[in-house]
Structure 1
Amino acid sequence: MSTPISGLVKQIHGNNGNSWLIGQRFVLHQTKSAEEPLWRDSDGNCYSLAPLSDDIPPATEIPSGSFPYLLHDCANISAVWDFGDVVLKIKLFQTRKDATREHATLDWLANQKLNFAIPQVLHYSADDDKSYLFSTRLPGITLNSAWPSMDEDHRQYYVQQVANICIQLSSYTSRRIGGIDGSQLHDSWLDPFSYDFRSETLLANSTQLGMSSTEFFFSHNDLAPGNIIVDPQEKHLVGIIDWESAGFVPREWISTKFAVGWGLDLEVGNISGLSETDWRERVHQALRENGFPDVSDTWKKWYKKRCSDLEKTAVNCDVV
């Protein structure tokens, strides 16, 4: 793909700057009224999405810091834009082409009785190598942003809330490891380096790790502090975002992921006195106290051996 993924949303010339080209696939219009808008925001503006005609309108890149705001740009793999009450995520499939799509998981979750909020899917589409997802934005800030200013009571409160969410989600079970629709489960920590996410491969890996292989439990699988939305003023956990890695896994994996998954670390930068691993270590401990088994020591040995076996091929041993 020649255009960086962060450059796939552009402002169309004219129309007072209220139209955007979305990946040479759609045009998004902002107007004061519309018969059937994709969404109507809290300011009363209507947003309508239309397929792009044969003629691509002239458009320019959106200046940094201008609306819609680029919230996230991950290594030219995915990007997220803030349209006020709604976010747009564009993501390359890469090794996820056969995995359960995030919108399918969100639609399934919307029919469950949850005690926390999730984004509502407004539109999903895909082309050969990437997906486009418009969803509602949860109000609040990420736990990662709120954590440094929290006192100990607040921190432990959120740890227990997320542990409770893990417990609630695990009440949904399956006889097969994978996504909610039977497609592949994309969790690189369950198959580092080769990225083979077929059910039989993940089952074999789980068996090697000593995890149960007869019943599987639903899990988010990526509860990093950046995916947890909170209202620190009201001491309230608003909801959970980024469900693209969710699916049915061995019960042991739910707690083990927090013990071994450095992708769940806090992003503390140079803030003195904060440990990157504090968040996930606390949740891991809370889950253990709630009876979730753990195979983290076995996983670390397994991962180290797989990494050692691949060193001569110059494979990067970081899990992505």
Structure 2
Amino acid sequence: MAVTASSDVPGPAERSKALEINNTYLRRFLARIALHTTAKFFKHNGPCIPISKHQILKTGYSVHLMEAATMIYVAQNTSIPVPKVYSSFIHKNRAYIIMERIRGKDLASAWKSLSKESLQKILSQLKDIIQELRSIEPPPQTGVESCVGGSLYDSRLPHGTPRLGPFKTPREFHRWLRNDAEASQLRDSITKQEADDIKAMVAQQDGEWPNPVFTHCDLNPSNILIRGQEIVGIIDWEFAGWYPPYWEYTSAWRGNIIRREWQDILLSLLDPFPEELDMERTRCKWWGEWRN
């Protein structure tokens, strides 16, 4: 299945036939049989279940076929190592994605055994991977949206589930993030400094923005597979999509609060966006994960 970034694919239909890949009766039957037979021979954690030495089945009511489409899109447009997708389909309102089981160890598990030299080689590769992902040319009129112009997912956003968007422009996305609030609606109970911070945030959010860049949004050590000193797989693309250029940087800050060492490393690999980070700190305080 060729995946193209196009708004012709309707967002509301993403869980339907529009995004199914190699969907045949035989593949559906074998996948469901594997869950009750071969899967019992392998350890698993979460929605990703090994069903053979070479294949993993990701399934669940929270799993979305967009993740399979995204992996194909990244494979078609970059040299980034991602799992090969063999099939994806919906059965009884439950998504199934059959993909390659990449032979490797996640960076989180390997971290303590790596020498400083090995870790630096891996991080250098990761920096190149991030830059290659961000260098994908967005199609004309691309907004904040998935690889096929549909909705996105981010469980870390207060109202980011089950899906969000798509948004035609970054401004539309930013308005959604702040619940359409305007600076003129500020409460009298807040301090002058808080009011100034919110006004600055709104002005920046409503300003002009460059083209979006393709963003993984969840680059944590558990999603980076290595073999020796080589990155052999980047996994878990469920949060990925076209976002404003600062989003990967601020996602690294938001998503790694309890992993301070990794947060510092990841931020050092990304182009810095200090003004946008201040903007996001204000948003998170009043409309975000740590709203008080």
Q: Same fold (TM over 0.5)?
A: yes
Could you tell me which of 198, 208, 221 is aligned with 2:217? 221
- 1:33 alignment partner in structure 2: none
Please state which structure has a larger fraction of its residues in strand.
Answer: 1
Report if aligned partners of 2:70, 2:147 keep a CA contact under 8 Å in 1.
yes
Matches within 5 A, 1:39-188: 49=27, 51=29, 66-67=40-41, 69-73=42-46, 78-93=47-62, 101-114=66-79, 116-174=80-138, 175-188=142-155
Change (3 A) 1:219 1:309: closer
Matched AA of 2:216: H
Matched AA of 2:70: T
Secondary structure, in 3 states, of the residue corresponding to 2:233? strand
Report if aligned partners of 1:87, 1:137 keep a CA contact under 8 Å in 2.
yes
Change (3 A) 1:310 1:110: closer
Secondary structure, in 3 states, of the residue corresponding to 1:51? helix
- 1:192 alignment partner in structure 2: 158
Matched AA of 1:302: R
Secondary structure, in 3 states, of the residue corresponding to 1:135? strand
Secondary structure, in 3 states, of the residue corresponding to 2:81? coil
Residue 245 (structure 1) shift = 1.4
State the distance in 2 between where 1:241 and 1:60 align.
21
State the distance in 1 between where 2:91 and 2:97 align.
12
Kindly indicate whether residue 262 of structure 2 is the aligned counterpart of residue 282 of structure 1. Answer: no
TM-score between the two structures when normalised by the length of structure 1: 0.63
- 1:293 alignment partner in structure 2: 273
Residue 83 (structure 1) shift = 1.8
Could you tell me which of 242, 249, 252 is aligned with 1:248? 242
Measured against aligned partners, the alpha-carbon deviations of 1:84-117 in whole angstroms (never above 9, x if no partner) come to 11101102138x6xxx711111222222241x32
TM-score between the two structures when normalised by the length of structure 2: 0.68
Report if aligned partners of 1:209, 1:299 keep a CA contact under 8 Å in 2.
no
> Relative contact order (alpha carbons < 8 A, sep ≥ 6): 1 or 2 greater?
2
Residue 309 (structure 1) shift = 9.6
State the distance in 2 between where 1:310 and 1:122 align.
41
State the distance in 2 between where 1:226 and 1:218 align.
20
Change (3 A) 1:60 1:91: closer
Measured against aligned partners, the alpha-carbon deviations of 1:213-247 in whole angstroms (never above 9, x if no partner) come to 34100011111111111012xx1111211112111
Percent identity between matched residues is 23
Report if aligned partners of 1:102, 1:243 keep a CA contact under 8 Å in 2.
yes
State the distance in 2 between where 1:257 and 1:60 align.
34
- 1:260 alignment partner in structure 2: 254
Please state which structure has a larger fraction of its residues in helix.
Answer: 2
Matched AA of 1:88: L
Q: How many residues align?
A: 233
Report if aligned partners of 1:86, 1:134 keep a CA contact under 8 Å in 2.
yes
Report if aligned partners of 1:260, 1:296 keep a CA contact under 8 Å in 2.
no
Change (3 A) 1:89 1:308: closer
Change (3 A) 1:82 1:127: closer
Secondary structure, in 3 states, of the residue corresponding to 1:298? helix
Measured against aligned partners, the alpha-carbon deviations of 1:107-159 in whole angstroms (never above 9, x if no partner) come to 22222241x32111111111353210110111110011111111222223222
- 2:187 alignment partner in structure 1: none
Unpaired segments ≥5 residues, structure 2? 1-22, 179-200
Report if aligned partners of 2:75, 2:81 keep a CA contact under 8 Å in 1.
no
Change (3 A) 1:103 1:208: farther
Measured against aligned partners, the alpha-carbon deviations of 1:265-308 in whole angstroms (never above 9, x if no partner) come to 6xxxxxxxxxx3212311211213xxx42423332232121259
Measured against aligned partners, the alpha-carbon deviations of 1:18-50 in whole angstroms (never above 9, x if no partner) come to xxxxxxxxxxxxxxxxxxxx9xxxxxxxxx735
Unpaired segments ≥5 residues, structure 1? 1-37, 39-47, 266-275, 312-320
